[in-house]
Amino acid sequence: MDKNGKILIVDDSKFNREILSEILNQYTVIEAKNGYEALEYMKADKNIALVLLDLVMPEMDGFEVLKYMNQNHLIDEIAVMIISIDKDDQSIEKAYELGVSGYITRPFSSAVVLKKVNNIISHYKRQKKLTTIINKQIYEKYKNNDMMIMILSHIVESRNGESGLHVLHIKKLTKLLLNILVKKTNQYSLTLDDMISI
């Protein structure tokens, strides 16, 4: 696993991909020649930290990739920086509206590309660290809740032999029912965290 995260370069030009790979040789780089291939990489590899995306590509252009990433919440996990010949203000504005972290037009300075990539990767590492800390805290909270329910069920059971097990069974049944409910309808906005916390 790459601690820095991987960089995915998406461009239909092999020459452009090679130039960027050379500039970013301190990182693990993956190359995709079109939007479809890029999305397959993003779905399969959870260590991609940054996508360097060209906008003008045949079959599936950069905007279509961004729309897919937004619809499937990949943009929340993976930063995107546009590197394109397209200098049109509307394209730049649209790209930022779709959640990109940066926009560089060609021709570009190698030093500027490297600096911007370093900044985005640093932000990615901080975000991953924070996510890990928060997940640990959430796990501890749920563990403590389960322990409290167990203690209370033992207290209840010591007063009434059947009630303690009843409390634990009710908890299990509630989780099962909520799980079925969420699968059957989207009427209730229950997250996995909501169900675990019961």
Asked if 117 and 51 touch (Cβ cutoff 8 Å), the reply is: no
Q: Rounded to whole angstroms, how far apart are CA atoms 45 and 63? A: 21
**Stated length of the chain:** 198
Q: Rounded to whole angstroms, how far apart are CA atoms 38 and 17? A: 13
Q: Rounded to whole angstroms, how far apart are CA atoms 100 and 107? A: 19
Q: Rounded to whole angstroms, how far apart are CA atoms 186 and 81? A: 34
Over its length of 198 residues, how does the chain's per-residue pLDDT go in tens digits?
455 679 999 999 999 999 999 999 999 999 999 999 999 999 999 889 999 999 999 889 999 999 999 999 899 889 999 999 988 899 999 999 999 999 999 989 899 999 999 988 888 778 777 777 877 877 777 776 777 777 766 666 665 555 556 666 777 777 787 777 777 777 666 665 665 555
pLDDT value, residue 158: 60
Q: Tell me the domains of the chain and their CATH numbers.
A: 6-129 (3.40.50.2300), 132-196 (no CATH)
- Alpha helices per DSSP H over the chain: 14-23, 35-44, 62-71, 89-97, 110-159, 163-184, 192-196
Q: Rounded to whole angstroms, how far apart are CA atoms 162 and 167? A: 9
Q: Rounded to whole angstroms, how far apart are CA atoms 162 and 35? A: 60
Q: Rounded to whole angstroms, how far apart are CA atoms 122 and 101? A: 13
| Residue reference for tokens 């928060």 | 134
pTM of the prediction?
Answer: 0.65
